[in-house]
Structure 1
Amino acid sequence: MWRWITRPVPNLWRLEPLLPLRQVPALKGLTWPLMAAVVGRWLARQRWGDVILWIYLPEAARVIDLIPHRLLVYHCVDDWRTFPQFATRRAEIAALEDGLTRRADLVITTAPALYEARRSLNAHTILQPNVGDYAHFTRADDLVPPPDLAGLPQPRLGFWGALDDYKFDRELVLALADACPNASIVLIGPAGVAIREQPALALNRPNIHCLGQRPYEQLPAYAAGLDVCLIPYRQTEHTRGVFPIKFFEMLATGKPVVATALPSLAPFGDTVPLTRTTGEFVAAVQAVLADPAAGRTQRLALAAQHTWEQRVDELLTYVAAALQTHPAREPLRRARDCLTGKAHPGDE
């Protein structure tokens, strides 16, 4: 029942069940129960004791009652109901997410808007914004830019991430290319649907260079060849709940960063220019190009205060506290034993 089970590191297992029913619309509803059964049996065989069920997707709420667990954590990293793919299922996704929120023993949110929405449904909600891999990206100073970047004229203004139209502001980037004709606009990441179907919309400026997706391991080297890092996001209902992971990644390179004024980034406006209009964005880029070294120390210091090592320590503290108030419950022990075939008195 497994496509594969891998162990990227000794104490981490990655499970991908083989679920052919996903390809059959009439049977798609069986996918989650089947996944829960397969994962539940695998967990039971490991005999690890109490399980923490850590959920990211609202649709995964369907497995809550099917996988024995001691603690339920909902890690809310997006406003799922605002995704384009859920446009016709918005009420369904909202109901699943609200139910998941109410039942969770701990709700972790990554943006203030998400915190306010989830907190209204569950008092055990915390705000823990995304952070960056400081050690990984601070290496940019010591790396040589890859040839496909090094050959482009400077200054180079760059973005890495998905080029999805519901989030990435294509019109803003086109305007920046027009305002800075001598600069190279470098976009690293997979193209969204709109750009794939109409590539001319993204590539009709000679100084815009879409390099495509690059491995995460190579991003610091690409950052080494940039003069300014960009976060050109739209300001929409969806991005109100977005905290870009790339924000602290970019700061860790020491490069100047210019970003759209997302609500989640408001606390960092003293370190990074946060812009609300196209004119402000262009002006901010031109200003940091005039003195790219200005503010470097502050950028690095801010990035060093927001690392995954620190964030994991904080999250584990919250999880440990939640475990103290949620002892193992008899129904969960019975469910676990049922999966392993262990009988209980009175079960016959």
Structure 2
Amino acid sequence: MKDKISKLKNLVKKYGLAGTIKKAAGYIYSNYLVKLSVKERIYVAVNKKKFIEGIDRILSKNSYDRIVIWRSSFGWDVPLYQRPQHIFSNFAKQRTLVFYEVTRFTDDVKRIKKQADNLYLVNYANTAFSKLLFQELEKCKAPKYVQFYSTDWTLPAAKIKEYMQQGYKIVYEYIDDLNPHLAGTDELPVNVKEKYDLAMTDKNIFVVVTAEALKKDVIEKRGDVRLAFSSNGVDYAHFHDGCDPNFKCDEEFESILKKGQPVIGYYGALAKWFDYDLLKKIDQENKYQVVLFGIKYDDSYDKSGADQWKNVHFCGSRPYEILQNYAARMDVLTIPFLINDITKATSPVKLFEYMALNKPIVTTDMDECRKYESVLIGHDHKEFLEQLDKAILLKTDETYKALLDKEALENTWEEKARTILEQLKKYE
């Protein structure tokens, strides 16, 4: 109960009372009313044979070597197109049948929907349908896995143990420092802590880590058995080849470009780990226009006063399908994060997307950025500003652009997915 109250307080701060009520209504509908719908239970019961035949048609195909059940309520059609969509799209292309969790709140999926070959979106909150799915999965001889995020706070550890008893192998994706700020709570949710403890004590559970700090934590607690290092990556074709030279950006963005100064860009979440003091110093230089695309993850942006700074422009989010066209028009792309436990354990997706765009990159001294030769590091605010000046000069440097391209190609989502699957294959 304490977790839920803390979560509610932070949602009100983030979305306001009206926005929180709207989100709560959607959550209740997607996670509870679907379960309780007598009409839906009757419909599934009446059409049971049809649904079973549909599931069996999927399972009877000779297009996969294993099955992965994704159980984290991240959603598919959400503003931030992130690791889950990329990893499982590439799993599906590498002979893995994926049943990916969505809800009616994130996606308009009442039961099951084919997203791509070997990739199906499933509303597990529809217990009448999901019961049939798991019933048919029991008959399947292929290796079966349940995979979930370390930060997911909806799935209890007891459910994971239940899956294990049913013969499913477990894949724990350890993607971030387990910090309450990431969960949107004042304290770490009990479900998150219990699943972490389970993964750190049961060596039969596969663990995937995305950062060296997380890898170190796992090895200290359970050694390197069933451990895969798979940082975040990039859809290279989307960002390198997917920029439309004829794309017309919106008037808000075009008006910033018309100011004639170099444009410093960032896209992603604006949260407590963003260095607003550094942002203010960039603004005070009066040499650049700073464009921020993304979402306000919490109230930190509003509290920073950045809306009052004349050279900083928060432009909201842009759909993933067209984001690359905006990023391609900027001169330097940045990740100006504070250095703390959260950012030390962060592998930023945007880092590899910036590389594929062949844009100069400047970041603060983050562990997972420092390892790449193409990234200009600002160890303090003064050096960060100096690196921005240097980055501007590198815009047309073909040798530097070739380095960016090389490091992008070394970090594609295809390779990240393959790394995880190779670890699973060792025990199949």
Return the TM-score normalized by structure 2. 0.65
**Which runs of no fewer than 5 residues in structure 2 stay unpaired?**
1-33, 36-103, 105-109
Within 5 Å, give how 1:1-348 maps onto structure 2: 1=34, 3=104, 4=110, 5-18=112-125, 39=130, 41-46=132-137, 47-49=139-141, 50-57=143-150, 59=153, 60=155, 61-67=157-163, 68-83=166-181, 85-89=184-188, 93-103=192-202, 104-122=204-222, 123-124=224-225, 125-139=227-241, 142-143=244-245, 144=247, 146-147=249-250, 148-152=252-256, 153=259, 154-165=261-272, 167-179=273-285, 181-195=286-300, 198=303, 201-268=305-372, 270-294=373-397, 295-323=400-428
What is the deviation of 1:79? 1.2
Using CA pairs below 8 Å that are at least 6 residues apart, which structure has the higher relative contact order?
Answer: 1
Secondary structure of the corresponding residue to residue 310 of structure 2: coil
Secondary structure of the corresponding residue to residue 291 of structure 2: strand
Does the Cα contact within 8 Å between 1:53 and 1:69 map onto a contact in 2?
no
**Which runs of no fewer than 5 residues in structure 1 stay unpaired?**
20-34, 324-348
Secondary structure of the corresponding residue to residue 73 of structure 1: strand
Secondary structure of the corresponding residue to residue 243 of structure 1: coil
CA deviation profile, 1:137-179 (whole Å, cap 9, x unmatched): 10366534613323313311100101112x2222211211111
More displaced stretch, 54-63 vs 293-302: 54-63
Aligned sequence identity (%): 23
What is the deviation of 1:290? 2.7
What is the deviation of 1:7? 2.4
Instruction: Tell me, in whole angstroms, the C-alpha distance in 2 between the residues paired with 1:289 and 1:44.
Output: 59
What is the deviation of 1:65? 2.1
Does the Cα contact within 8 Å between 1:106 and 1:322 map onto a contact in 2?
no
Count residues with an aligned counterpart: 303
CA deviation profile, 1:189-235 (whole Å, cap 9, x unmatched): 0113214654x612111111111011111111011110000111110
Does the Cα contact within 8 Å between 2:337 and 2:364 map onto a contact in 1?
yes
Instruction: Tell me, in whole angstroms, the C-alpha distance in 1 between the residues paired with 2:297 and 2:188.
Output: 21
What is the deviation of 1:40? 5.4
What is the deviation of 1:94? 3.6
Return the TM-score normalized by structure 1. 0.79
Q: Considering only aligned residues, what root-mean-square deviation do their CA atoms show, in Å?
A: 2.4
More displaced stretch, 225-234 vs 68-77: 68-77
Instruction: Tell me, in whole angstroms, the C-alpha distance in 2 between the residues paired with 1:241 and 1:259.
Output: 15
Secondary structure of the corresponding residue to residue 418 of structure 2: helix
Instruction: Tell me, in whole angstroms, the C-alpha distance in 1 between the residues paired with 2:295 and 2:302.
Output: 13
CA deviation profile, 1:69-109 (whole Å, cap 9, x unmatched): 43211111111235353432378744431222322532110
Instruction: Tell me, in whole angstroms, the C-alpha distance in 2 between the residues paired with 1:45 and 1:101.
Output: 31
